Structure 1
Amino acid sequence: MAGAMPATQKGNFWQAGHRPTLIAAFLYFDVAFMVWVLLGPLAPIISKDLGLNPAQKGLMVAVPTLAGAILRLINGVFVDRIGPKRTGAIGQIIVIVGLLSAWLLGVSSFGGTLAVGVVLGFAGASFAVALPLASRWYPPEHQGKAMGVAGMGNSGTVLAALFAPLLAKAFGWNAVFGLAAIPLIIVFAIYMAIAKDSPDQPAPKPVAAYLEILKQRDAWWFMLFYGVTFGGFVGLSASLSIYFTDQFALTPVIAGYCTAACVFVGSLLRPFGGAVADRIGGVKTLTLVYILAAVTLVAISTAPTSLAVSVALFLLVMGTLGFGNGAVFQLVPQRFRAEIGVMTGLVGFGGGVGGFYLASSLGFAKQLTGSAQAGFLIFAGLALVALGGLTLVKKRWRETWDAVALGVRI
């Protein structure tokens, strides 16, 4: 199932693959995620200026997530056909041009924010490029760590939460779109200079062949599992600024600080999740993740009146979900190494759909009931559904995967 690894990829993790590519994948992922969730920390300011209701606010921050989910499928196909480096370059150019256009033309309506959200979806689709770009350089025993380091680029959401409200206060929120293009251009230049496709590339397949993978049950399970871990992470990343301003009447800047702290913990723990999964197995790691996430989300659904308690609970759940993201992608390459490009797209699609659902449901719950708490409770139920699915498949996985023969824990 797995392709032969180049001889230079054996041994210690930092010497096993291609370090410049790993760094490039991280940087690309980092700035892409920064702009992907840009509308989240700006939402309290934009919604006030444009007079948006809670449902519109929720939809505005959810659209980039859905667009990113759909585009990940397309990127997954292109990664296997033209290579991850070239696919990533095309996506970066689209986002840079789109942000500069939004800045120059101005955004003055709800429809305009949705259009920007679609453009930002191309940044969210970076997931399906950065992870296989890094992964293909590393042998099975280092997949959790490689995916974790590259995937830690989701820490870019911290930058958006920290700086977007401050820049919007100083220059206006429309100007933030133009300012965000500056780090994108810098990283694009670095990416083109140091990233390199692994020689371990699969042969291009007809597009129809990619649909065949959906006939395998494990592909659907992975989409569900990541739909909860990553969906919860990115959905909360996009929504917490709104939640903190609505629930505790914080200023957008202070709400951004609270959001940044929560996102930072989730991003920081992603590589640790991959490393722990390498040691004890991804199944065992995810079992603990889903239990803790469900319990914490239920606690959040009780709407704590203390800001300190609320932030502590969000720190815990974001850390847990970030940890789970690393664990899922310790498992995916063991099962689908030859199809890692398209599987990264499919699993990323599942994660994006989960994030779209959570972010939009919080807004609609607020619109219909006056509180976002029902959205948290339903997502806790989805975590328990994922736990039940994992319990159903773990015995078959351990008995049938080639990873077992390679001595890799699952």
Structure 2
Amino acid sequence: MSEELLHDLRLHRTQEERAKQNFVKELRSYVLNDMADAMRKRYEDRIKPAFEAITGHPPEDGMDVHKVMKEDAFFKFYSSFRYNAQEMVWRSVMPTLERNIDILKERAAELGEREIGGTLRLDPDLEVPRNVTEIDVHLAPGGYHSETVSDDLTAGALYDNGLQVFSFGLMGRNLDDIGWSMAQYVRNKYPHFKPERILDAGCGVGHNSLPWAESFPQAEVHAVDVAAPLLRYAHARAQSLGIPVHFAQMDATKLQFEDESFDLVFSSMFLHELSLKQIRSFIAEARRVLKPGGLLLNMELPPNNQMDPYDSFYLDWDCYYNNEPYYKGFRDQDYKELCVQAGFDPEHYVQFISPQYTYMKPEEYRAAIGVEGAIDRNTGRLANGIQWFGFGAWK
């Protein structure tokens, strides 16, 4: 079932709209679980042995797997289903948004007046990077930066409502499991670390910003993004939930914060949307604004050099077919080396696997992270049994 969002920006959906969204949610679950498992079996049983018979060795990397898989009828069938299901995510929620746009703006304005402690600062002169303006990332129509009316927050509503369908129940009841899992990992793994200022870079609508404020209530949390519609929505959403966060329109590769002004810099599913030049700039900027003893933490997809060739191929699907052109280029990097190149000590590099915090009891989560996890086929893969990957470094 397509559940209601847990804040005051949720919109009334007709019975037909609910039915469409439920269908798309179940379709995506079928594609990413059942069809994906069948495709893997086909590869193991038929395609991989055929490759070995011709070459004398198994596929060496994800590129090898992609070359042979893209000629396979089942892969074409799978990809067609998955691509169309992705477009259907947005189509299923757009009628609801279009019908309620004025109501949404009114609610956001009312929520903005609440005395919660959070703020919103927009920069009309900011030049939004071309990797945002020139691509409909995730096939989202118009991308996430487009504005057609004053005080537009449609793109934020599209993302929030779309993610509810897209994730088919795997990102937490409030779509914030990544944030909770990363924050609670830090809180439990490093109990003596008490960050007072936290920055979420590339925050989107703030799904994963708010858990930091809740996990570390003594901290002042800031969150930046280049897309004004996302930030307007993020601020109203945080106000509705009563969680103070300071949102600002800012390019994370050119942070407008003083040197050594944050204890923790965080990002989630952000780096793979950037060019390699932008990634390097961001990590360098993160180090600049971190205080000595501070932590850079990125929740991301695991690197290709630590994965089985088939798993690398599977995760890189989005680079070729989901309008995420930098996806594979990022995952081909050595993450530790990216941190070292930005000035971090290689001895201070961190990397870990986290289970899903919001689906477990706190004591179960603490026990789970007490055992060092290994990257496997479920790491970063949106399917039943998913686990999250984090990396970064201490300054």
Identify the TM-score tier after normalising by the shorter chain: under 0.3
Does 1 or 2 have the higher relative contact order (CA < 8 Å, sep 6+)? 1
TM-score by length of 1: 0.23
TM-score by length of 2: 0.24
Considering fraction of residues, name the structure with more helix: 1
Rg larger for: 2
